[in-house]
Structure 1
Amino acid sequence: MGQASFTLFQFSDSSDISKWQVVNDGVMGGLSKGRISLNEEGKGVFQGFVSLENNGGFSLVQYSFKPKAVSDFTSLEIKLKGDGKKYQIRVKSSSSQYYNYAYTFETTGKWQTLSIPFKAFIPQFRGRQLNMPPYPGQEMGEVAILIGNKKAEEFRIELDHILLK
Structure 2
Amino acid sequence: MRPLIGFDGGPGEPHWVALNDGVMGGCSTGAPAIADGRLEFRGALSLANNGGFASVRSVGRHFDLSGATAVVLRVLGDGRRYQLRLATDARHRGIAVSFGAGFDTIAGQWIEVRVPLDGLQASVRGSLLEGQTMDPARVREIGLLVADKREGAFALSVDWIALD
TM-score strictly above 0.5: yes
Gaps of at least 5 residues in structure 2 are none
Q: Provide the rounded CA distance (Å) in 2 between the counterparts of 1:118 and 1:24.
A: 25
Aligned pairs for 1:48-59 (under 5 A) are 48-59=43-54
Match of 1:161 in 2: 160
Q: Provide the rounded CA distance (Å) in 1 between the counterparts of 2:85 and 2:6.
A: 17
Gaps of at least 5 residues in structure 1 are none
Match of 2:72 in 1: 77
For the pair 1:23 / 2:19, whether they are aligned, the reply is yes
Partner of 1:99, secondary structure, is strand
Distance change >3 Å, CA 9–CA 23, structure 1 → 2: same
Q: What is the TM-score normalised by the length of structure 2?
A: 0.85
Aligned pairs for 1:1-165 (under 5 A) are 5=2, 7-12=3-8, 14=9, 19-39=15-35, 41-94=36-89, 98-109=96-107, 110-165=109-164
Q: Provide the rounded CA distance (Å) in 2 between the counterparts of 1:70 and 1:158.
A: 23
Q: What is the TM-score normalised by the length of structure 1?
A: 0.85
Number of residue pairs matched by the alignment: 159
Contact 1:120-1:135 at 8 Å conserved across structures = no
Distance change >3 Å, CA 68–CA 106, structure 1 → 2: closer
Contact 1:121-1:134 at 8 Å conserved across structures = no
2:103 counterpart letter in structure 1: F
Shift of 1:139: 2.1
Distance change >3 Å, CA 35–CA 95, structure 1 → 2: farther
Distance change >3 Å, CA 64–CA 94, structure 1 → 2: farther
Contact 1:122-1:135 at 8 Å conserved across structures = no
Contact 1:79-1:160 at 8 Å conserved across structures = yes
CA deviation string 1:69-103 (max 9, x = no partner): 32222211111111000111101124987110111
CA deviation string 1:23-74 (max 9, x = no partner): 11110011111111234x3322100101111121110000134433322222
Distance change >3 Å, CA 148–CA 59, structure 1 → 2: same
Identify the range of structure 1 (90-99 vs 71-80) with the bigger mean alpha-carbon deviation. Answer: 90-99
* Identity level (%): 28
Shift of 1:159: 0.7
Q: Provide the rounded CA distance (Å) in 1 between the counterparts of 2:133 and 2:110.
A: 27
